[in-house]
Structure 1
């Protein structure tokens, strides 16, 4: 399975997610929950859109690993984190971890 298939299978049947960025948690776990709107791959990489206005843009080929209720996305060449309430953040190393509820 490619990264898109792994992620789609992992989120199937779940509505609430929380995430950790490469530099740590984003907000408070369980206080901040997000819903995935769509997941797509394009010529640049992988994009995950959340209904709350958050967007993950992974550039390059990523590695996706499942660990129980966590999904670990790593080995990107660049990661862009967008939230409508603040300026975009960029990372060139680390992991992004999604947790499902």
Structure 2
């Protein structure tokens, strides 16, 4: 199963998500909840778009590990985090962890 299929299977049936960036939680943990709008993947990148104006862009051959209510995305060569309310952030190592409710 490729990364896109693994993520789609994990989010199926859930509407609320929270996430941790490579440098820690984004906002106050579990106070903010996000809804996934769409997930796309091509030869270069994997993108996750949230309805609240947040997006993830992973470059490289990512690893996706499901750990019950957590989805761990790692081994990217570059990760771009965008929120419409602030400047983009870039990471070249670490993990992004999605938690579902």
Query: How far apart in 1 are the matches of 2:84 and 2:16?
Result: 19
Shift of residue 37 of structure 1? 0.2
Query: How far apart in 1 are the matches of 2:90 and 2:12?
Result: 28
State the SS of the aligned residue for 2:29. coil
Paired position in structure 2 for 1:98: 98
Query: How far apart in 2 are the matches of 1:23 and 1:2?
Result: 26
Unpaired runs of 5+ in structure 1?
none
Unpaired runs of 5+ in structure 2?
none
CA RMSD, 1 decimal: 0.5
Shift of residue 43 of structure 1? 2.5
Paired position in structure 1 for 2:64: 64
Offset from partner CA, 1:48-87 (integer Å, 9 cap, x none): 0000000000001100000010000000000000000000
Shift of residue 30 of structure 1? 2.0
Q: What TM-score do you get using the length of structure 1 for normalisation?
A: 0.98
Query: How far apart in 2 are the matches of 1:30 and 1:94?
Result: 21
Q: Following superposition, which runs of at least 4 residues in structure 1 exceed 6 angstroms of deviation? A: none
Query: How far apart in 2 are the matches of 1:30 and 1:97?
Result: 13
